[in-house]
Structure 1
């Protein structure tokens, strides 16, 4: 695998997370419960379900990443190298390269009627925490910190791969949520 510049990677991911926050605030915050819980015209998830699904992954990954970054020693390492498995998961989840649909895993399937204000608020909070974690990663070795994968904890991925996977997964479902705005002529 190719080694990439860690600082550039984290800045690129930071920009995507900043956009997710801006979109959540501009498009979803302060919308009524009925609107955010309205099922997709194509039969898919509502906006609230998309965000709740992402929140379920955040509940798993964010504390683990926070704990690992907190105790990781500072380093001058400037590069990061994905593993083949990490690169595969990222490519699979990225909306540009992973066109296949996937079924959500048990524990990550949202219910149909949610407290949408709470869901949106939690999503924004988690994205802000993710920004802090990305910024904490600048002086850490992203190759040595390992995080157990939520669906198979025996597999541990490098935190640099986890950052990319989570943000690609978030982008995938943010695009899905925003497609629910099209019939309304909003987006």
Structure 2
């Protein structure tokens, strides 16, 4: 995938802004709707957000650190995705019917006692993501590399890491929206 860098960053800012507004709207929801689950083994809205918060606790500091320490201080006009990074990012994009994916045990928040502090953390992380997207304008999104959560040996281009994280957020926001709709009917 090849895209203009400004266009990519704008797309990612738009998705993150929408996710942020959804998170803010959840502050007005009642405890019952936020903790509703379709079945014993499905996630609630708060569990969807907590899952994202867990990933954010790894990726946001990793991204910030790599931006700050990057030796590649010139931005390129185009971003060309890496093969692995493009695969991971596209795998996260939500489909018309969300395809189920197995979650690592360490990132699965099912059956935790959660409250609105999860939403506040999610909102903070979305704001942090917007700041990091802004900071990333001064580095090369291809040459600046980040580690990934499942292996320190694999490194992705910063642009692909942003895509993966933000598309993953979008995927679970769609899931949370669907759960919330069902909870209002039940």
The normalised TM-score by structure 2 is 0.91
Aligned ranges 1:57-96 → 2 under 5 Å: 57-73=55-71, 74-96=73-95
Which sections of structure 1, spanning at least 5 residues, go unmatched? none
Q: Is the 8 A contact 2:33 2:180 kept in 1?
A: no
**Residues 91, 97 of structure 1: 8 Å contact kept:** no
**CA–CA distance in structure 1, aligned partners of residues 54 and 125 of structure 2:** 10
Count of matched residue positions in the alignment of Structure 1 and Structure 2: 184
Whether the aligned pair in 1 keeps the contact of 2:5 and 2:78 (CA below 8 Å) is yes
What's 1:37 paired with? 35
- The Cα RMSD (Å) is 2.0
Partner of 1:21: 20
Alignment check: 8 A CA contact 1:38 1:46 kept: yes
* Unaligned runs of at least 5 residues, structure 2: none
Deviation at 1:41, TM superposition (A): 5.2
Measured after TM superposition, the shift of residue 177 of structure 1 is 0.5
Q: 2:53 is matched with which residue?
A: 55
Q: Classify the secondary structure of the residue corresponding to 1:77.
A: coil
> 2: CA distance between counterparts of 1:99 and 1:34?
24
What SS is found at the alignment partner of 2:17? helix
Q: Does 1:170 align with 2:169?
A: yes
TM-score (norm 1): 0.90
Residue 8 of structure 1 is matched in structure 2 by 7
2:157 corresponds to: 158
